[in-house]
Amino acid sequence: CHPMTGIEPDFHCDYGFNIHTHGLTVINYNCVILDTSPVNIGAGAFIAPGVCLACSGHAIDPEQRNHGIGTSSPITLEENVWIGANSTVCGGVTIGAGSVIGAGSVVTHDIPAGVIAAGVPCKVIRPITEKDKFKPEDILF
């Protein structure tokens, strides 16, 4: 992990060596990263409490699943991504730079850069615009 990576307890992962942070990264409480494939986390990433990044999956066919056949695909969070609390990002997904994923979402496909996306399954709601910036008088600290 990059030296500017902060990880709160309880954090769980499969291996750890497949997790690559590339700058300031905040991983909040009770997160899980199932890193059976590479997980690349861009600088400025904020991962809220209870998030699961799951590269691994299982066969859909019950007979194959019962024989232990599984899947694994990488996950990429580009720079300045914010994943909301209790969201799940599935294997094979890339979330574009600057995007925000709403709390409780299940991300099953790529999300473009610069958008707010949420839901089950996660879908783009709208682009992030200048109207999303706080005015100086609205900032509490």
Q: In the structure encoding, which two tokens stand for residue 132, read together? A: 């999303």
Q: In the structure encoding, which two tokens stand for residue 37, read together? A: 């494939």
Backbone angles phi, psi at 55, to 5 degrees: -70, -30
d(CA 137, CA 134): 8
In this structure, are residues 17 and 73 in contact, taking their beta carbons and an 8 Å threshold? no
Q: What Rg value do the Cα atoms of the chain yield, rounded?
A: 16
Of the residues 2, 12, 58, 109, which is catalytic? 58
Is 58 labeled as catalytic in the residue annotation?
A: yes
Dihedral sign from CA coordinates of 91, 93, 94, 99: negative
Cα 56 off chain centre by: 14
Active site residues: 58
